[in-house]
Structure 1
Amino acid sequence: MHVSELPDRSQDYLKAIWNIAEHSAGPAPLGELASRVGQKTTTASEAIRRLAEKGLVVQEPYRGVTLTESGRKLAVDMVRRHRLLETFLVRVLGYTWDEVHEDAELLEHSVSDRFMARIDAHLGHPGRDPHGDPIPDAAGHVERIDWISLAAVGEGETVTVEQANDHDPQLLRYLAANGLVPGSQLTVTGPPAAGMLRVAVGEETVMLAEAALGEIRVRRDG
């Protein structure tokens, strides 16, 4: 089966399951899937049932949804399309990293494999998208990155920003304005207080809401 044989919404579900598993390494909860795709839980349940009938997912009662091998191949294709398109929009068309997600969501359903291969070659086969997410290669291989949530970093630690969630444009704008982009270093200068975490970026002090820390992934240096 080619991913284009599935309805757009089914493609969205496969990609969402893969994205959740990328960071949690476990089944995707049905409620979280519904939220990511923008549908009610009852609608999501029916969509997952149809995907299961096609042999693309397995739903475990009270645990969540996982991809079968066939489902994973289609999901990775969608992830590759999305992240390559985001990279193209930033590098070639001058989008900022907070603008690309929604347009990439629209474009990923309509582009051909040939078009994506041309974009990949034009960009020089990039390994990461603008948000730091690894881009699957044409064979479906995905770089494994040893990153952790910024919420797990303790006082006095210096880390390198690796990735930021692309679903929150406001957070992305704030991070970019304060130099917190993939490749930048920060030092946690104190424990969380009043719902905020203080970090140092170069000579500047930046305040981050505790609620946002899980949306930022970092690598411990050394």
Structure 2
Amino acid sequence: MPYRKELFVFDDGKPIPAVVRNYHEGDFDELIAIQAECFPPPFPSDLWWNKEQLQNHVTLFPDGALCLEINGELAGSLTGLCVNFDPAHPVHTWDEITDSGYIRNHDPEGNTLYIVDISIRPKYRKFGLGQLMMQSMYHVVIEKKLDRLLGGGRMPGYHRLAAELSADEYLGKVVSGNLKDPVISFLLKCGRTPVTIVENYLDDEESCGYSVLMEWKNPFK
């Protein structure tokens, strides 16, 4: 079912009309440009979205391909796929669970909406768009009667304290409010809760390869 939500975002208290909607083929160039802005060099450009991946997103699971538009410009995107997640066996890598972003493993009968990627243009990050887009994906979870939304959260602040704290200890301090992590704290504000820590989830020096699986359970299930 096509998704479209009109709303206002605020820039220094001034309301600005915006819309969350499904992205489509006409958005591909701008979506790739957003990736370039979010992940500039030395991040390798071959890891930005490519058009084959984006075509798969809008073909295999268009309901999980969302973007937010402000004044005719795309400000960010959020992409997901459906998987059959077993909480008793939670460990996986990003490549395994997302098919390296190509989502050819999308399971229409899956029980979980899994977040592949969220990207917000740097100039719009003060607008709180990440939370708005995550809320929109919660709507998809409810509409499809899925058990949960799930995804791996990077811990980009961990490398500074890795010599002093284990990954579990670092997460505990973020959850208790004694530390703030740019990604994990954001996901907590979005209503996500930790499930487990996964080692070697991504080749991510800042997180020392760790990620926190974090879920939002469907309150109507």
Q: TM-score range by the shorter chain?
A: 0.3 to 0.5
Q: Relative to total residues, which structure has the larger helix share, 1 or 2?
A: 1
Greater relative CO (CA pairs within 8 A, separation 6+): 2
- TM-score norm. by structure 2 comes to 0.33
